[in-house]
Amino acid sequence: MLHLKEILNNKLSEKQKTFLIITATAFIFLLPQLLTQSMIIGSDAIFHFNRFFETAEQIKHWNFEYFISLYGFQQSGRIVNAFYSPYLAYLHGLLVLISKNWFIYQMLSNFILFLISGLSMSQFLKAGHVTQLKSCYGAIFYMSTFSVLYWVTRQGFSSWGAAIMPLCLSIIFPVLQGGKFPKFKLGILTALMFQVHMLSALILVMIYLPVFAYGLFRSSQKLSFLRQILREILLFILLTLNIWAAFFTAFQQNNLIAPFVNKEMSSNTINQNSYYWLINPISLLIVLFLVVAYFLTKWTIMDNMNRFLFSILTFFLILSTSVIPWNHLIDKQVPLVGLVQFPFRFFVPVTILAIYLFFKLSNVKKANLLFVSAGIIQVILLMFTSLGAWRKTENFLTSGTSTILATENAKDIKSSFFVKDKAKALELVQKPTPDYLPSYTGRNKNPYQLYANEIIHPNDNFNKTVKKNRIIVKEKLQEKNSRTIEFPVTIYTNSKLTTKGKPISKKKYKLSKIGSPIIARTEIRNNQIELEFDNSKQNYLAAAVMLFWPIAFILQRKTA
C-alpha cells in the first residue's frame, strides 16, 4: 500500500494498474487460509456445496438436469438450483470440477469474489468521477467490508449480489447528472443481479426507482424516457425467463416449503446482534460517521446529486436497523417482509454509497491510506480468527446446530474436505435444509427434522445411481416384516416414477409429509424405482435464455 502511488505512475494503463492492485489485494486476503490450510464451514456452506456439487457432476457427466438434484442433496430428487441462481450455480460447479478438493474450491471462489467486488467497486467510483488513485483505495476498502466477507466467513450468498452491486449502480450517474438514459444497460444489469441473488435485485430496484423517477422528472422528452424504461423491463423479463418459468412450473401444482421466516429479524440488525457489519472494518464506522456529520453540517452547500445519494444511504441505513419494527411486521404477516430474513442485508448499499461519498469529498490523502490499510489488516486478523475454529477437535464446524455428522471422528471429517472425492465430505457432513421441498400436509412444524428422518437417515439402506436424467433407487436389504417401502427421495407433481421401466401410477403409492413415496412391495420390481422429472420444455427454455445474454451484450456494446 505504501508504494501504491509509484505503481500507478508506471507505464501500465489505468485499467491494468487497477486490475493488478486489486488482484494482489485479493491474494493477500487469501494468505491466512493458504498458510493455515484450514477451512471455514459456515452456516450455509453445506447447502451451497451441495448445490455446486450437483452442477459439477452434471458438467462432468454431461448429464444436464435443470430441475431436480441427481447428485447432490442425498440424490433426493429435490428442486433447489432452478430457484436459486441457476446459471451462477453452474459457474460454481465448473469451479468445483476443476478444483482438486473443497479446500481449493473455497480458495478459488473467495479469490474470485474479492476480485469481482474490487473491480465492480472501481467501476462504480470511476463512473462517479472519482480519481484513479481514490478509486483503487475505494475498491480495496470495499473488498474489506462485511458485504463481501459474509461469504468468506459464513458462506452467505448475498455477498455475490453485493460483489456486482457497485457495477449495477454505476449507471445511475449519467441519469442523475444529465438525465441520460443508459440504453440496454438497465435491463441487462437488473437481470444479471436477478440471476445472481433475488433479494439483492429487489434492493437494486429500490435504488433504481427514485433514480429513474428523478431522471424522468428532469427529462425534456418524458414519453421517450418512458418508452425506454418499458424496453428495459421487457429485456429484463426476456433475460430472466428461465427463473419465472421454473417458479411457474413448480408452484403451479405444488405446495412448496418456503425458506424459513426469521421471527427475530430485529436482532439481525446492525445496531443489535449484527453490529459486525458496522465494524468490519472499524474504519467503515468512522467513514460512515464522517459522511453523516459532513452532510448534516454542509447540507445547504452540497450539490443535488450528492444530496440525493446521501438520502438513499440514509433510507437504507434506517432499514438495516431495529428502528424499523421488524418483529412486529413479521407478526402481522406484512407481505414481502418475510423474504428479507436479515435486515443487515440492507447495509450493502449503505456501504457502497458511504465509500463513494467519502472518497469523492475527502482530500486528506493520509486518511485515505490509513483507512484502507486498517481495512486490510483487519481482514487478515478476522481470517486468522475465523480459521482458528478449524484447529479445534470440537465445534470446528460453524454450520449450525441442525448439522448431522456421520462420524464423531473430527480428523476424518476434516480430511474429507481435502480429498479428491468431493462426495465424501457431503456424506460425512449433512444439513437438512428444507427449502422448496414439497409439502403434502399443510404447514409442517419441523421440516428440518422431517427431511433428516425421511431422506438423510434412511439413505444408507439404499443404493442410488444415475442414468441419464433418472435417479435409480434400490433397497439394499429387504425388511422381512415390511409390506411397503418408503424411498428416500421426494416427489413433485411433475415427478415420474417407474419400476424397472414400468410406470407406477400415482394411485398406487402414498406420499409422506415432504413427498417421500411409500409403495407396496407388490408394486415394485426387484425392490427398485426410477425417478425423473418431466421438464423438457423448461430445459429448452433455460438453454434459449442463455443464448439471449450474448446477444443483449452485443447490442449494448454497439449502442454504447
Tens-place pLDDT, residues 205-232:
999 999 999 988 888 888 999 999 999 9
CA gap 166, 178 in Å, rounded: 20
- Residue 105 CA, chain-centre distance (Å), reads 16
Q: How far is CA 373 from the centre of its chain?
A: 28
Distance CA 74, CA 430 (A): 9
- In 3D space, the residue among 57, 97, 45, 51 whose CA is nearest the CA of residue 464 turns out to be 57
Provide the 8-state DSSP code for 299: G
C-alpha cell of 75? 440424490
**Strand (E) positions, 293-424?**
404-405
**pLDDT confidence of residue 536:** 66
Which is it for strands 470-475 and 462-467: parallel, antiparallel or unpaired? antiparallel
Query: 3-state SS string over 239-275?
Result: HCHHHHHHHHHHHHHCCECCCCCCCCHHHCCCCCCCC
Rounded to two decimals, the pTM is 0.94
For 220, the enclosing helix (H) or strand (E) is none
Provide DSSP, 10-55: SSS-HHHHHHHHHHHHHHHHHHHHHHHT-----TTHHHHHHHHHHH
Grid cell 457497485 — which residue? 166
Kind and range of the H or E run holding 516: none
Residue type, 531: L
Phi/psi for 498 (5° steps) reads -135, 165
Q: How many beta carbons lie within 10 A of that of residue 391, not counting itself? A: 10
So what's the pLDDT on residue 2? Answer: 47
| Residue numbers of the chain with a pLDDT score lower than 50 | 1-2
Query: In whole angstroms, what is the distance from residue 29 CA to residue 118 CA?
Result: 12
State the cell numbers at 405. 455428522
Angle at 337 between CA 333 and CA 340, to 5 degrees: 145
- For the four alpha carbons of 108, 111, 115 and 121, in that order, the dihedral sign comes to positive
Angle at 158 between CA 557 and CA 17, to 5 degrees: 50
| Positive/negative CA dihedral, 490, 493, 499, 504 | positive
The dihedral region occupied by 525, where left means phi > 0, alpha psi between -120 and 50, and beta the remainder, is: beta
- CB-facing half-sphere around the CA of 133: CA atoms within 13 A: 17
Place of cell 473488498: 143
Report the C-alpha gap between 195 and 201 in whole angstroms: 9
